[in-house]
Amino acid sequence: MNAIISASDLARDLAGAHPPVLLDVRWQLTAAKAAGEPPFDGRAEYEAGHLPGAVYVDLDRELAAAPGQGGRHPLPDLAHFGAAMRRAGVSSGTPVVVYDGGQGWAAARAWWLLRWTGHPDVRVLDGGLPSWEGPLDKSVPAPPEGDFVPEPGSTGLLDADAAAALARSGVLLDARAGERYRGEVEPIDPVAGHIPGAVSAPTTENVGADGRFLPAGELRARFKGLGVTEGSRVGVYCGSGVSAAHEVLALAAAGLPAELYVGSWSEWSSDPDRPVAVGPDPQ
The catalytic residues are 238
Distance CA 257, CA 128 (A): 23
Q: How is 33-80 classified by DSSP, letter by letter?
A: GGGTSPPP-HHHHHHH-BSTT-EE--HHHHSS--SBTTBSSPPPPHHH
SS3 of 149, please?
Answer: coil
Helix axes 105-116, 243-253, angle to 10 degrees: 70
257 to each of 166, 214, 223, how far by Cα in Å? Answer: 14, 17, 12
The neighbour count for residue 34, using CB atoms within 10 Å, is 10
Give every strand in the sheet of 171-174, ordered side by side.
157-158, 259-261, 234-237, 171-174, 199-200
Instruction: Pick the closest to residue 171 from 265, 234, 78, 248 (CA basis).
Output: 234
Write the CB contacts of 100 (distance below 8 Å, at least 6 apart in sequence): 24, 25, 26, 27, 106, 107, 128, 129
User: Which residues of the chain form beta strands (DSSP E)?
Assistant: 4-5, 21-24, 55-56, 96-99, 122-125, 157-158, 171-174, 199-200, 234-237, 259-261
